[in-house]
Amino acid sequence: MDPFEMLGVARRFDLDLGAVEKVHRELSRALHPDKHVQASASERRAVLDKAASVNEAWRIVRDPIRRAESLFDLSGIAVGENNEPKASAAFLMDVLEMREALAEARAHKDVAKVEALAGDVRGRAKKAEAALATGFAATSARPDRAALEKLLPSLGELRFYRRFLDEVSAFEEEQDA
């Protein structure tokens, strides 16, 4: 499935998610089962299937990791942590240091330190998203497999940042309990 086509939006990483959400809502309203009660059973099933596809397309497009994976997939580039190049030693060392700092801050219940680490990682995630947006935009007119493959490390970084921020969220939930 091409989620961009399903939602009728351009195949690009840098999307106006507010506008795409509006398209999603309009499609969802048009495909709502109440609007098709007079249709035959097979037509209602087809509308329900299309509504499910529209919802899945929206879940893919609104998530920067899944959006990038979809763009790579649509370009014929296999993604997934097993298909992508290994991260650089410098990045891995940086990751190790951030994880150690997070573990220490969590152990000491240092909320301010956890928040500072999370802020830093959110900034890094934004930079990785910007790199993906720039790279996909540069290849949108003329897809260049080699240029696209150079974007894969940014996707890997983004995945790490998501996991890190998930750990931060878990810590924050523990503090709220």
Note the pLDDT tens digit of each residue in 55-94.
999 999 999 999 999 999 999 999 987 888 888 999 999 9
Asked if residues 156 and 92 have their Cβ atoms less than 8 Å apart, the reply is no
User: How far is residue 7's CA from residue 120's CA, in Å, rounded to a whole number?
Assistant: 33
Q: What is the CA radius of gyration of the chain?
A: 20
Q: Which of the following CATH numbers is that of domain 89-176: 2.60.40, 1.10.150, 1.20.1280, 3.30.530? A: 1.20.1280
On the question of pLDDT at 34 being above 90, the answer is no
Question: Where in the chain are all domains bearing CATH 1.10.287.110?
Answer: 3-62
Mean pLDDT of 8-37: 93
Provide mean pLDDT across the span 9-31: 95
The model's pTM is: 0.90
User: Has residue 177 got a pLDDT over 90?
Assistant: no
Long-range pairs for 122-128: beta carbons < 8 A, 24 or more residues apart: 122/161, 122/165, 124/157, 124/161, 125/157, 125/158, 125/161, 125/162, 125/165, 128/154, 128/155, 128/157, 128/158, 128/161
What distance in Å separates the CA atoms of residue 78 and residue 57, rounded to the nearest whole number?
A: 19
Provide the pLDDT confidence category of residue 175 given band limits of 50, 70 and 90: confident
From the options 1.10.287.110, 3.10.450.350, 3.30.2000.20, 2.60.120.380, give the CATH code of 3-62. Answer: 1.10.287.110
Q: How much is the pLDDT for 27? A: 95
Q: How confident is the model at residue 40 (pLDDT cuts 50, 70, 90)?
A: confident
Please tell me whether residue 79 adopts helix, strand or coil conformation: coil
pLDDT in tens, 95-141: 999 999 999 999 999 999 999 999 999 999 999 999 999 999 998 87
